[in-house]
């Protein structure tokens, strides 16, 4: 069973961003699988890097869309993204320097942050997009 099971309630009904979210779930599941399989730190480091890169791309695309569409809650939304970006960058730096091990605590943070963010903050712009009848 995957660490995060994709659930229909995660879907915003916006194909592009739903695909991004599915990919983020699958990357976090990959980190979890490698962690539980006790993969070497280079392997875990590389998959964490993939997750950080993809999350950055995804956040950028959401923020760009919000900016282009005058979404009023862009600042609050991007502040939430920043918390995740900062936490991951600090974690990756410490991990690379051997100061920190990957832990179940970090994996739970990733899981909870993403699922909460999709269900609460992202769903607000999902409603906004649909109300505007706006495409992507």
Binding mask 58-97 for Fe ion (x = CB under 5 A): ----x-----------------------------------
Q: Verify binding: residue 122, Fe ion, rule CB under 5 A.
A: yes
Cα end-to-end span (Å), the chain: 33
Shortest Cβ distance from residue 125 to Fe ion (Å)? 7
Nearer residue to Fe ion within complex by CB, 34 or 122: 122
By the 8 A CB rule, do 67 and 76 touch? Answer: no
Give the tokens for residue 29: 């599941």
Min CB(136)–Fe ion separation in Å: 14
> In the complex, what is the shortest distance from the CB of residue 81 to Fe ion, in angstroms, rounded to a whole number?
6
Please list every residue from 2 through 61 that binds Fe ion, using CB under 5 A: none
Which parts of the chain fold into alpha helices (H)? 15-36, 41-68, 74-96, 104-116, 123-132
Q: In this complex, which beta carbon is closest to Fe ion, that of residue 102 or of residue 110? A: 110
**Residue 67: CB atoms within 10 Å:** 11
Nearer to Fe ion, 34 or 62 (CB): 62
The distance of closest approach from Cβ of residue 120 to Fe ion in the complex, given in angstroms and rounded to an integer, is 10
29 neighbors 54 (Cβ within 8 angstroms): no
User: Structure tokens of 122?
Assistant: 């992202």
Applying CB under 5 A, the residues found at the interface with Fe ion are: 62, 122
């Amino acid at each position: 069973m995957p660490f995060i099971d994709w659930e229909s309630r995660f879907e915003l009904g916006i194909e592009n961003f739903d695909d991004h979210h599915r990919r983020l779930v699958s990357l976090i599941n990959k980190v979890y699988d490698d962690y539980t399989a006790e993969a070497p730190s280079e392997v875990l480091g590389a998959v964490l890097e993939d997750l950080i890169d993809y999350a950055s791309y995804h956040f950028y695309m959401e923020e760009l869309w919000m900016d282009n569409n005058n979404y009023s809650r862009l600042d609050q939304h991007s502040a939430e993204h920043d918390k995740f970006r900062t936490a991951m960058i600090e974690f990756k730096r410490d991990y690379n320097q051997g100061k920190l091990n990957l832990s179940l605590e970090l994996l739970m943070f990733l899981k909870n942050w993403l699922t909460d963010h999709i269900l609460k903050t992202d769903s607000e712009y999902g409603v906004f997009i649909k109300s505007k009848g706006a495409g992507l």
